[in-house]
Copies of this chain bind each other. A is one copy, B any other.
Amino acid sequence: MHKPFTDKPIQRIGEDGRKIGRWTLDLTEDQLRTMHRDMVRARVFDEKLVTILRQGKTSFYAQSSGMEGTQVGLAHAVRPGHDWIWPYYRDQGLAIGLGVSVRDLLAQCLGTSEDLCRARQMPHHFGVRNYNFVSISSSIANQVAPATGTAMAQQYLGTDEITVCTFGDGATSEGDWHAGLNMAGVAKAPIMFVCENNQWAISVDFKGQTASTNIAVKAHAYGMPGYYVDGNDVLAVHSVVSEVAERMRAGEGPALVECLTYRIGSHSNADADAEKQYRSREEVELWRSRDPITRFERFLAAEGLSVDAAAIRAAAQREVEDAITATEATGTPGWDVMFEDVYEDVPAHIALQREYVRAEQEA
């Protein structure tokens, strides 16, 4: 059993890929390979999206590069399509790890006709019903209280589902974050709050965000355990999350898991040039050298498991390219989707507005 409230982040493997402490691997070779492949796929997704962003095919993108240990570790520890996820906007690695198809993600980024969200949200704000991956809101931390509600519903319905709610370090400052965790504590709802602490909220560092020693200790305020985990150690993340998830299914109530990681890319494309004003290249380089994928590859090698990294990358690149071609071919939705899904049906006043635009478009 992992201990909450440790002073140092929980780790399973060191930078050198060697095991830390005594533990037995409970993952099959296949699972390990999939984990690795998903991390690479997430990284490649980032790289490709930055490229097509430059080409003007999409207008917004926020990389999760450097955070794959956290996102894929988490994804592989929950039950896709069974558990519910209230993610935040930087969770492409989580989506990929859960099994969401790259094509579905790209359809949203490009706003094509097969975009499940019908081209209404900014690019990179996914939502995939099949995976219970709830549509992302840009408004920081406002998924937290709803996530608690979903967990309360799961409890009410007597399911063995859990809810996972993710967010950044910056999100923990919002009032709604507090509201969601406090209510979950009282309700003993089966929800895991996962902080992807990448140490920056745009240009604001951790010390500018909160004076607490870390995020995990904030769990004291809600009567739930807080785990402080090395988020660049995919096995540590996977192990803590798996354990906590199973306890939650057994009715043990909510938990907060902080995954300490780093965003090695810019906050978003809108921030790309501004970065140097607020963080040093040395810091970025230091964390680049702590790459979660490399670390995991060292572990796999130490375990005698060889992976053909180049082939995996190449396959991932093809996967994204093919998805782009395929989804682009579906075209883009017409102007009139704008007037749907405001309500279940189209009420009279909106129908009038639609007719007004129709006349305009047809003129």
Which residues does A use to contact B, with CB under 8 Å? Answer: 173-179, 182-183, 185-186, 188, 207-213, 217-218, 220-224, 253
Min CB gap A182→B, angstroms: 5
A253: chain B residues at CB < 8 Å are 211
Most buried by B among A185, A186, A217: A186
A179 CB contacts on chain B under 8 angstroms:
173-175, 178
Which of A208, A210, A253: most chain B Cβ within 10 A? A210
> Knowing A220-B217, A221-B220 touch, does A186 contact B210 (C-beta < 8 A)?
yes
**CB pair B218 A220 closer than 8 Å:** yes
Q: List residues of chain B with CB within 8 A of the CB of A221.
A: 210, 212, 217-218, 220-221
CB distance A185 to B173 under 8 Å? no
| A176 cross-chain contacts in B, Cβ below 8 A | 175
Are A212 and B218 in contact (CB-based, < 8 A)? Answer: no
State in angstroms the CA–CA spacing of A179 and B171 once bound together: 11
Report chain B residues within 8 Å CB of A177.
Answer: 175, 178
On chain B, the residues within 8 Å of A218 by CB distance are 220-221
- Rounded to whole Å, the gap between the CB of A137 and the closest CB of chain B is 16
Q: Across the two chains, which residue of chain B brings its CB closest to A186? A: B211
| Interface majority SS (helix, strand, loop, mixed), chain A | helix
Tell me, in angstroms, the Cα distance from A207 to B186 when the chains sit together: 7
Q: Could you jot down 24 A-B contacts, CB within 8 Å?
A: A173-B179, A173-B183, A174-B175, A175-B176, A175-B177, A177-B178, A178-B178, A178-B179, A182-B211, A185-B211, A185-B212, A186-B208, A186-B209, A186-B211, A188-B211, A210-B221, A210-B222, A211-B253, A212-B220, A213-B223, A217-B221, A218-B220, A218-B221, A220-B220
Report B-chain residues with C-beta under 8 Å of the C-beta of A188.
211
Which chain B residues border A223 with CB–CB below 8 Å?
Answer: 210-213
User: Separation in Å of the A122 CB from the closest CB of chain B?
Assistant: 25
Chain B residues positioned under 8 Å from A207 (CB to CB): 186
Across the two chains, which residue of chain B brings its CB closest to A253?
A: B211
Residues of B within 8 A of A212 (CB): 185, 220-223
Question: A104 to nearest B CB, angstroms?
Answer: 33
Contact partners of A224 in chain B: CB under 8 A: 211
- In the bound complex, what is the Cα–Cα distance between A222 and B176 (angstroms)? 16
Q: Which of A173, A175, A208, A209 has the most CB of B within 10 A?
A: A175
Q: What's the Cα separation between A212 and B220 when bound, in Å?
A: 6
A209 (CB) vs chain B CBs: closest residue: B186
Contact of A182 with B173 in the complex, beta carbons under 8 Å:
yes
Q: Which of B182, B210, B211 contacts A210 (CB 8 A)?
A: B182
Q: Roughly how many angstroms separate A210 CA and B221 CA in the complex, as a whole number?
A: 8
Which residues from chain B contact A210 at a C-beta distance below 8 Å?
Answer: 182, 185-186, 221-223
9 tightest A-B contacts by CB?
A175-B175, A211-B223, A185-B211, A178-B178, A218-B221, A221-B221, A220-B220, A212-B223, A175-B179
A161 to B223, CA, bound (A): 34
Q: Which of A212, A217, A221 has the most CB of B within 10 A?
A: A221
For the complex, give the distance between the alpha carbons of A183 and B188 in Å: 28
A251 to B: closest C-beta gap in Å: 14
Question: A235 to chain B: closest CB distance in Å?
Answer: 28
A172 vs chain B, min Cβ distance (A): 8
Measured between C-beta atoms, what is the minimum distance from A34 to chain B in Å? Answer: 36
CB distance from A169 to the nearest CB of B (A): 12
A14 to chain B, nearest CB (A): 29
CB-nearest residue of chain B to A185: B211
